[in-house]
Amino acid sequence: MSGAERHILVLGGTTEARRLAAHLAADPALRVTSSLAGRVAAPRLPAGEVRIGGFGGPEGLAHWLREQHVAALIDATHPFAGTISYNAARAAAATGVPLLALRRPGWTAQPGDDWHDVASLADAARTLPALGERVFLTTGRMGLGAFAHLEDKWFLVRSVDAPEPPVPPRTEVLLDRGPFTLEGERELLARYAVDVLVTKDSGATATAPKLAAAREAGIPVVMVRRPPAPEGIPVCRDPAGAVEWVRRVLA
């Protein structure tokens, strides 16, 4: 790294994080490192430098920020990756490194939607028995144990990588990665005779067509709310806003 370069750490793994890294890496005055959790076997790698794996809690992240002379930190992780967001807030406070949260907006119910808002996967499992028998479960491969006791329900689980036990006994796994189309989601719901959808409020446009398909089919949706985020951290909604923030804090 030359003396003129400023080091930016992006906590990534999302589409927005990859777009942000591409914008920042195009600036020769910046050195960009994206950190990925390593939960996906073959992740889509962003531009710039990449590190994979955890830091060892907030203390480990703070040590890395100091050791690597990081000038700005951007938390662009998934809205449900709550632990790393709190670790980032604590590490930034300990080191004085400016921190920004890049968070895509959540989904909003539309006319005709039948959404059932819940706070957790466990709450989603408790809500399911009254809603349907054939469940399209799109909450990712982590946390499926919350549904493992529902032996009388059939589950279609869609994830990038195969889930590990425990999973519900009547489960079919569909390995796929977005973006998905409305036509494709319509066909999937019909092919598997899905009568209830369970998802997290990730807000991603790449996976939103399932909500429109469920609305058209009159299928109820169990929507898991986002966990609370650290307070006092500035938030932007898109990569362009994050780029502007970097310009300001490094000026």
pLDDT digits (tens, 9 = 90+) for 19-46: 999 999 999 999 999 999 877 777 889 9
List the CATH number of the domain containing 83: 3.40.50.720
Phi, psi torsion values for 20, nearest 5 degrees? -65, -45
Per-residue confidence band for 246, with pLDDT thresholds at 50, 70 and 90: very high
Q: What is the domain extent for residue 69?
A: 6-105+228-250
pTM: 0.89
With a cut of 80, say whether residue 187 has pLDDT above it: yes
Query: Once rounded to an integer, what is the mean pLDDT over residues 121-132?
Result: 96
Q: Note whether 125 and 98 are same-domain residues.
A: no
Query: Once rounded to an integer, what is the mean pLDDT over residues 43-55?
Result: 93
Q: Note whether 30 and 96 are same-domain residues.
A: yes
- Nearest in space to 84 (alpha carbons), one of 44, 121, 53, 120: 53
CA 34, CA 90: separation in Å to the nearest integer? 19
CA 206, CA 218: separation in Å to the nearest integer? 21
CA 76, CA 15: separation in Å to the nearest integer? 9
Q: What is the pLDDT of residue 172?
A: 97
Per-residue confidence band for 240, with pLDDT thresholds at 50, 70 and 90: very high
Q: Note whether 148 and 201 are same-domain residues.
A: yes
Q: Note whether 127 and 193 are same-domain residues.
A: yes
Q: Note whether 64 and 126 are same-domain residues.
A: no
Q: Flag whether 1 is in a domain.
A: no
Query: Once rounded to an integer, what is the mean pLDDT over residues 138-167?
Result: 94
CA 19, CA 223: separation in Å to the nearest integer? 27
Structural domains counted in the chain:
2
- Nearest in space to 226 (alpha carbons), one of 59, 127, 82: 82
Q: Note whether 95 and 63 are same-domain residues.
A: yes
With a cut of 50, say whether residue 76 has pLDDT above it: yes
As a whole number, the mean pLDDT across the chain is 94
Q: Note whether 68 and 163 are same-domain residues.
A: no
CA 105, CA 236: separation in Å to the nearest integer? 9
